[in-house]
Structures are given as structure tokens and as C-alpha cells.
Chains A and B, each alone.
Chain A
């Protein structure tokens, strides 16, 4: 009887797979080809909003859109295999959010146009193992996740400290061999504090507690708060994905009394989970006082460059380069509410994109607007009057 039940369960599952496969096997509609995204994400607010936005733009430009997941650790072979597994003959462009194996991918598919999004492609622009792609005609550049120069990231964090009055801080980052720009950021932050302290009043000087803690891609240990000075901080500067790696430990430490409830976190990353968003803001008891994120509108940069290249209408003033992303800074209760309810990032609704799909398709792409320029694209991608939590309030 039990064996029969097992067989029924197995057959039911097999039937479910077969039935679920039928709708997706319908003949595809005519299109100009498919744009593939080699994603560094598999879920979450940024993933959902990026997929929605890229799908809408691709539809507007006449492409199909598909996603493949890059290797979780950005391994070259894993990324190449992911692209190969997802590759079909109609794929004409690739948006890369991981740079591992990029040169091998471009050698495997030499006709494919490639543009980056959400990655600084340090392995190419920094003279690493993918530097050869800069010589290839089909490589179009990238828009980074945040700042390319760590010193700019440090400036953002330093300004937030000044604005919010944080003076006693501790620094946490990822290992330099994995993220060299974060080491630059930490060093720059230390230098800015030293420079400030040289002229500041005694009670206004920065105190950086202890050495910088390096997380080996694992959450911060609870015992960190038992180390000298870590229980009474104004803020923790998380030069890493602090929402994921620092926030849970900080919450536990505050609940256990091993950390002052006044300690807040300044970091990067975003999730729409209310357990996190309820803790972001500037009112009393908020644990995350500031979060920096790259807007979900960033893929527009890569898609415009791809469409121009595929349609043979590249900008006259185009240059292959890596550019900073605009930085969204969420630092108040109003900001987080606006982002959650009125932004593309918070809602995954392309209609709420601050760079509207219609603008990308009809204004920024050269095939639909012969007057379009690369300078104009750059300006739009970094326009604070267009892209910021404050603008959402209007």
C-alpha cells in the first residue's frame, strides 16, 4: 500500500512537471532577439525590481528578456557554464552583473554584445585576468554598484557621520583580496577622520574604536560586541553588505544588552522585508540610520548601450568605460516610506521608475532618437533631480 502511494506521488510529481512545461513551450513571438542578464542576484527587492524594469525596457525596444544566475561566488567556470546553459541562437546581447570568466564568455560567444550593470568589473578595468575584453569591439562598458573609487564611498559615510553627529565609530568590511575598493574606502575614511580631528574641538573629535574588522563572508560574531569599546558605539560603519552580515547580530546584541541601544548601523544594501525596513530611519529606536543603495534604474545604462550596438546606432560621443552608479541614500523615516511605496526599487513596478521606460526607449536610445548622445545618457543616470528618495516625495 505504501509502495503504491509512493508510486502515485512520483507519477503525480512527474505529471506536474510535464504540464508546467507545456505553456512555456509555446512558439515565441517575433522579436529583435533576446537580451540575457547574467544576474548576481536570485531574489530580493533589487532582483525583482531589476527584472521588472529590464523586461519592460526590452519589450519597449522589441527584445525578449531572459535571466541566468551567475555563480554564487563569481567563479569563472560557473559563470561561463551558466551563460552556455541559458544560451539560445536568438540571444544578441548580454547584461553582465558578474565579471568572473567574462573574457572566456566573450571568446565563446564573440558575436554577443556585452554591457555590465551592478559591477565595477575590476578584473577588466583594474588590469586583472579579464583585461583582454577591453580590446574587444563587442564590450560596451559597465555601470558599477555604487562608487568605483572607494574614497567616494568613504566620503558618503563620513558626511553621514558629520550630519548625524556620530563620532565614536567602528569599521567593518570584506577582505581586500575580494573587494579592493573597500580597503580603499576604509583607508580613506580613516584619513578623513584624522584630517577632521586635526582642527576639531576635543569633544568633537572622531574616535575609531579598534582595528577594522574583516568579515570572511560570514555574519559578524556576537562576541564582537564584547571586545573593548564595541558596546558603546555611536555607529558601526558597514563597508560591506551590512544589512545581511551585521544587522542581525546587532539586533541580537541590543536585545541581549551587550550593545548600547543607541548604536546604529550605516551600511549598504536593501530589502523590503518589514523586519528590516521597520528598523531604518531617523526616529528613536531605529537601528539602521542610513542605507546606501544603487537605484534599480541602473540597468537602463547597459540596455541603451546594447540596443545602440545591436541596431548599429552607437552614440557619436560613446566611450567604453566604467561609470559610477548614482547613490540612493535612505536616511530618514520619510525616505524609507517613500522608497517602499513610491519607487521602482520598493515596489518592482516599472511605472514608478524615476527614469521612465518610455524615456529610455524613446529618448535615450539612438535608434528612436537620432539626437541622443552618450553625454545625455550619463547625465540622466546621475541626475539627482531625477533620482533620489527626496524626489519621490513629490
Chain B
């Protein structure tokens, strides 16, 4: 017993678990700090209105981040997800308006998402290029398609007609969808061969391949899973206002990266990748978004504070003296 205690509080334990400490510590600090500070400023962050704001702020980011865990655990990333969200939201609105079928819009989006996922996952390995390159190509292609669509429509926005989108604004539905997603991804990630192999690829792709793991297959599956959740995120993004625009989803890929790092996700992937990183990071990100304005922090200072917290997490989780990002 004494021995275990020593192990838990040893220097090495803190070193080994720095990412987890930063992830849990960050969200815990935000919860405690805003629970005390916001009522003093006149409005609790846990009031019904603010809780609803928090959920709507976090939902799209959390769905995207959790869906991206597989890809990031491989040591890969996808910078086209913002543009994908924008395109799928546009497709859903346009198809619903023209055919009256919302489901058809979702299905078409899913088909495109699976195709993009397969191509993104395969090209990296088959062409021996970093997967970010193929996602960059998709980002540019989707951006061009979006511009063509909106130029053709003669407007920067398109709104749903004759379809009640308010169901997608329900905080209860948002929470349920997020919980279901977390359960599915956690199961796949922690309790299946696929999850273990994905982490093994991230830890050492050469060793994984020589152990008989098919890199192309697992990367394609990881990107397809993420693509499916990008469509789910697009539904909530579009449903929030019942509209889409040529700028819907812009910058989401960066938000996902920041959320994952805030949650303690190693960007190089590997065995230390955890689903909880995505959830913790997303909530930390949104708690700051919602909490800081309540306590009177000027809006032009909020990003600065978020940047400082980001640096703090990076400093804490940086394991190598020469390292910059958590590995």
C-alpha cells in the first residue's frame, strides 16, 4: 500500500500523466473558477440560459473532436473538416428546399463524406505523402465548390423553407447525441482490435506494419468514421439557425486541433491518445467562450486569455525538453 502511494505521487507519475492532468485540470479549473466568479459578476454560468448557451457552443466542436480522435491517434489530421461542414450544411438546406426531404440531404452528405474519408485515408499511405496534404487538396476543392454554389444562387446565405429545424436547437438532443457518440467511439477505440491497432499505428507505423497491421485499411476506416461525425456536426451547425452560408464551418479544423491539445491529446498520436481528450478540450474551450464574457472580460481579451491557457497546457504537457507540442 505504501509502495503504491509512493508510486502515485512520484515525480515519474506526474511526468507520465502530465497530459491527463492538464486535460482534467483545465476543465476542472474552469468549472471551479467560473462557479465562483460568475455569480459574483451577477449571472451564474450554471443558469438555465447560460447552460443552454454552453451546450450549443460546445456541441459542434465536441462532435467533431470526438469523431477526429481516431485520425489524430494515427498521428494524422484533416484540415478539410471545416469546409466539409459548410458543404454538407449547404447540401442539406438546398436539398430540403428543393425536394422537401431532409433525410435525402443527409444521405447525400454521408455519401460524399465516406468518399472523402476513403480518399483521404488511402492517399497518404499509397502515395507516401502526409495525410494533411490530401486534406488540404479537399479543403481547396470544397471551397471552390462552395463558391460556385453560392455564386450560382446569387447570395451568401441559404435558409431552410418549410422545414422546422428547431429540434436541432434542443440542448437535450444535443447532449444525448454527444453521449451516444462518446459511447460508440470509446467502445471502438478502447475495446476493439481496430482501436488498439489505430493507436499502435500512431505509436510506430513501421512496427505496426511489420506486425501485419494494414495501414491503408485502418487509416481509411478512421477517416470514414470521422466523416460520418462531420455530417452529424453539420446537421447541428445547420439546424442552429436553419441556414448555411459560404463561410459555414470556416476555421473549425483549427478549433478541433486546439480542443484536442487543450484536452491533452498527443498530436503525434499513439498509445496515449484518449477519447476523453476531445470531450475535456471541447468543454474547456467552450467554458472559456461563455464564462469569460460573464465576468466582464472584454471580448477582445478573450482570445488572448485562451491563447495563454493554450500555452500553459502545452508547457505542462510538453514531455521533451526540446519538444514544443505534446507528444
Interface residues of A toward B: which range?
Answer: 35 or more
CB within 8 Å for A85 and B151 given contacts A25-B37, A73-B250, A178-B156: no
Q: Which residues of A contact B264 (CB under 8 A)?
A: none
- Select from chain A the residue with minimum beta-carbon distance to B244: A76
User: Any chain B CB within 8 A of the CB of A101?
Assistant: yes
Question: CA A238 – CA B321 in complex, angstroms?
Answer: 52
Quote the shortest CB–CB distance from B232 to chain A (angstroms).
15
Q: Which of A10, A77, A175 contacts B240 (CB 8 A)?
A: A77
On whether the beta carbons of B49 and A6 are closer than 8 Å, the reply is no
Question: CA A88 – CA B42 in complex, angstroms?
Answer: 9
Question: CA A100 – CA B243 in complex, angstroms?
Answer: 10
- Among A63-71, A141-149, A158-166, the stretch in contact with B: A63-71
On whether the beta carbons of B247 and A74 are closer than 8 Å, the reply is yes
User: Any chain A CB within 8 A of the CB of B242?
Assistant: yes
Quote the shortest CB–CB distance from A164 to chain B (angstroms).
34
Quote the shortest CB–CB distance from B45 to chain A (angstroms).
11
Q: Which of A9, A68, A73, A129 contacts B299 (CB 8 A)?
A: A68
User: Any chain B CB within 8 A of the CB of A104?
Assistant: yes
User: Any chain B CB within 8 A of the CB of A75?
Assistant: yes
- Among A11-19, A307-315, A336-344, A383-391, the stretch in contact with B: A11-19
Describe B's contact surface by its main secondary structure: helix
User: Any chain B CB within 8 A of the CB of A359?
Assistant: no
Question: CA A51 – CA B247 in complex, angstroms?
Answer: 26
A 64-100 to B, binary, CB cutoff 8 A, 1 in contact else 0: 0011110111111110110011111110000000001
On whether the beta carbons of B312 and A14 are closer than 8 Å, the reply is yes
On whether the beta carbons of A67 and B37 are closer than 8 Å, the reply is no
Closest 4 CB pairs of A and B: A73-B247, A129-B159, A24-B296, A76-B241
List 15 extra interface pairs beyond A88-B42, A89-B49, CB under 8 A.
Answer: A3-B321, A6-B315, A10-B315, A10-B316, A24-B297, A25-B295, A66-B299, A67-B299, A81-B56, A81-B57, A89-B43, A128-B155, A128-B159, A129-B158, A177-B151
- A contacts, CB < 8 Å to B: 2-3, 6-7, 9-10, 13-14, 16-18, 21, 24-25, 27-28, 42-43, 66-69, 71-78, 80-81, 84-90, 100-101, 103-104, 123, 128-129, 175-178, 180, 216
Would you give 29 A-B contacts (Cβ < 8 Å), ordered by A?
A3-B321, A17-B309, A21-B297, A24-B296, A28-B42, A66-B293, A66-B299, A67-B299, A68-B293, A73-B247, A73-B250, A74-B156, A75-B245, A75-B248, A76-B241, A76-B243, A77-B241, A80-B240, A81-B240, A84-B56, A85-B57, A85-B289, A86-B293, A87-B53, A88-B294, A103-B241, A104-B242, A177-B155, A177-B156
- B contacts, CB < 8 Å to A: 33, 37, 40-43, 49, 53, 56-57, 147, 150-151, 153-159, 237, 240-248, 250, 289-290, 293-300, 305, 308-309, 311-312, 315-316, 318, 321
